[in-house]
A and B are shown apart, each in its own frame.
Chain A
């Protein structure tokens, strides 16, 4: 992805990042049930690298905690992400990275729905359909070259380490 000469979004706006999650007394108490919440899911995806810039999805406002919903009862995790520009050709790759990261991190019983924030992309419907098709996602992650690109995105960029 870094092989292309021209960047699609040349000068992206960089946003401030959320601080560390405060640890509460209840979380340290092993007798209290502590279901996975939106903040925990956000912590899993915030440091995914943008395919184009050495920045995190959080710094580019592609992912936000407010756009993550977790329903512990049905086990459905819904993540909406906002591409930086409406014609971003990386949208599917970004969504795939989020999906792969969550599939690897969350317990297997969770259903993970990754969608584009409504109205933020020109091919919203097509990208959403592609990301929802588990068979195509499975075939994509069996493709060695594509998986390598996804894995690269899952390594936090240097910018995230200092943040």
Chain B
């Protein structure tokens, strides 16, 4: 298998390019002559010389861990689009095309549905997110609104945020809980400022129009008020507050199709992006502020679109949700990283994690290795990754 990987956006460097031509030439020559002798020579060449050259800064497959099923949660009557944990790791929210949000929690008998939020949206609920305090839950819907639900009022719908012209695709809270970001098919990202914590008053603080197409996901840095968004225009974009206004910073280009999801690492220094092109890219801020580059490309692992990526702040593991029904877990290989390009290896995978496309993955914020996933088969599943 050939994997073309490097730190500068996936182009082969000159050395690799040279060997690639030798490889192609040998392959054609072997085919033309049907010579076993040359075929063996070529195979030897390939295993000994060429393949390590192609594996620069890349990826290995060492299934050193296992992804064990914990439980399967049924209840939704249509595809489940997203899952989100509350900060205490005790409540899991899931949202679905059946127009509801379900809250799951663990009791003595295992995980079960504790609450159904059914009257907030008229169409598909596409995204959910808990506030950092765990008190508020925001939901994004194809009905062009976002709703905020209040735990202190028995999960009443406390506010409805209107303004987007079409489907709202995602919601995300800033680390302080002061800002809520929403993004939409209408190409915009809105920042809502929570001006009154008691009354739950929101004011629109900014409308960011950087994307040229449908915005699929928003994600805040875990350490500062910095936002990332991604979408149908194949880019990831970053925003920050420069003192009196929200400005657009870096534009991360490299994916060849829709970027479905972005996730920050625990330190807020790197971003993982998942795309319709079947790859995951790791980006790092090489020259602050706002000079970002692609430092690793996870290519050749996913057979179809990657719909979600989650970066665990506790273990550093990356999980992906894929349109080929699989959930995969990647670990960063030790040793790399100091100056060199980071390398990620596939350490666990479940090929048929769901009966249909997997739409979402989310790591528990409190329990190491506990992963939630959601799919087009209407199910939410919990998994545990064994420690190395």
Interface residues of A (CB under 8 A from B): 74, 108-109, 111, 129, 132-136, 138-139, 142
What is the CA–CA distance of A74 and B304 in the complex, to the nearest angstrom?
11
A129–B232 Cα distance when bound, in Å, is 9
Task: Find B169's partner among A74, A111, A135 (CB 8 Å cutoff).
Answer: A135
Does chain A have a CB within 8 A of B120?
Answer: no
Q: A109-B356, A132-B276, A135-B216 are in contact. Are A142 and B123 (CB under 8 A)?
A: yes
Interface residues of B: mostly helix, strand, loop or mixed?
loop
Are B258 and A129 closer than 8 Å at their CB atoms?
A: yes
CA–CA, A133 and B214, complex, Å: 11
Q: Given A111-B304, A111-B323, are A138 and B258 neighbors across the interface (CB < 8 Å)?
A: no
Question: How far, in Å, is A162 (CB) from chain B's closest CB?
Answer: 39
Asked if B356 contacts A142 (CB within 8 A), the reply is no
| Inter-chain contact total with CB atoms closer than 8 Å | 38
Chain B residues positioned under 8 Å from A74 (CB to CB): 303, 324
A142 and B79 CA atoms in complex are apart in Å by: 13
In the assembled complex, B126 has its CB within 8 A of some CB on chain A: yes
B124 engages A136 (CB within 8 Å): no
B328 on the A face (CB < 8 A): no
Does the CB pair A133–B258 fall under 8 Å? yes
Q: Is the CB of A142 within 8 A of B257?
A: no
Give the chain B neighbours of A133 by CB distance below 8 A. Answer: 232, 258, 276
Of A74, A132, A138, most buried by chain B (CB within 10 Å of CB) is: A138
| B264 part of interface (Cβ distance < 8 Å) | no
B257/A138 in contact, CB under 8 A: no
- Cβ distance A113 to chain B, nearest Cβ, rounded Å: 9
By beta carbon, the residue of chain A nearest B260 is A135
Could you say which residues of chain A place their CB within 8 Å of the CB of B214? Answer: 136
Taking residues whose C-beta sits less than 8 angstroms from the other chain, chain B's interface range is 20 to 34
Report B142-185 residues with CB < 8 Å from chain A CB: 142, 167, 169, 185
A42-B324 Cα distance, complex, nearest whole Å: 24
The residues of B that contact A108 with a CB separation of less than 8 Å are 355-356, 376-377
Q: How far is the CA of A134 from the CA of B97 in the complex (A)?
A: 12
Task: For B185, list chain A residues within 8 Å (CB).
Answer: 136, 139
User: In this complex, which of A74, A132, A136, A139 has the most chain B Cβ atoms within 10 angstroms of its Cβ?
Assistant: A139
Interface assignment of B6: CB less than 8 Å from any CB of chain A: no
| Docked CA distance A135–B124 (Å) | 10
Q: List chain B residues, Cβ under 8 A from A136.
A: 185, 214
A134→B357 contact, CB < 8 A: yes
Query: Are B97 and A138 closer than 8 Å at their CB atoms?
Result: yes
Given the complex, which residues of A lie within 8 Å of B357, measured CB to CB? 111, 134
Residues of A close to B124: CB separation below 8 A: 138-139, 142
Q: Smallest CB–CB gap between A142 and chain B, Å?
A: 6
Residues of A within 8 A of B142 (CB): 138-139, 142
Instruction: Please name all residues of chain B whose beta carbon is closer than 8 Å to the beta carbon of A142 when the two chains form the complex.
Output: 123-124, 142
For chain B, residues 281 to 319, give those with C-beta under 8 angstroms from any C-beta of chain A. Answer: 303-305
CA distance in complex: A139, B184 (Å):
12
CB closest residue in chain B, given A133: B258
A40: min CB distance to chain B, Å: 21
Please, how many angstroms separate the alpha-carbon atoms of A70 and B214 in the complex?
Answer: 31
A109 and B323 contacting across the interface, CB-CB below 8 Å: no
Contact of A109 among B167, B216, B257, B355 (CB under 8 A): B355
Contact A129 B257 (CB under 8 A): yes
A-B contact pairs, 8 of them (CB 8 A): A108-B356, A108-B377, A111-B324, A136-B185, A136-B214, A138-B79, A139-B124, A139-B167
Measured CA separation A109–B376 after assembly (Å): 10
Contact partners of A132 in chain B: CB under 8 A: 276, 305
Extra inter-chain contacts (10) besides given A108-B377, A111-B304, CB under 8 Å: A108-B356, A109-B355, A132-B276, A132-B305, A133-B276, A135-B169, A135-B216, A139-B185, A142-B124, A142-B142
Distance in angstroms between the alpha carbons of A133 and B126 in the assembled complex:
14
User: What is the CB-to-nearest-CB distance from B330 to chain A, in angstroms, rounded to a whole number?
Assistant: 23
Docked Cα-Cα span, A129 to B275, in Å, equals 13
Residue of B nearest to A113 (CB): B304
Bound Cα distance from A139 to B257, whole angstroms: 19
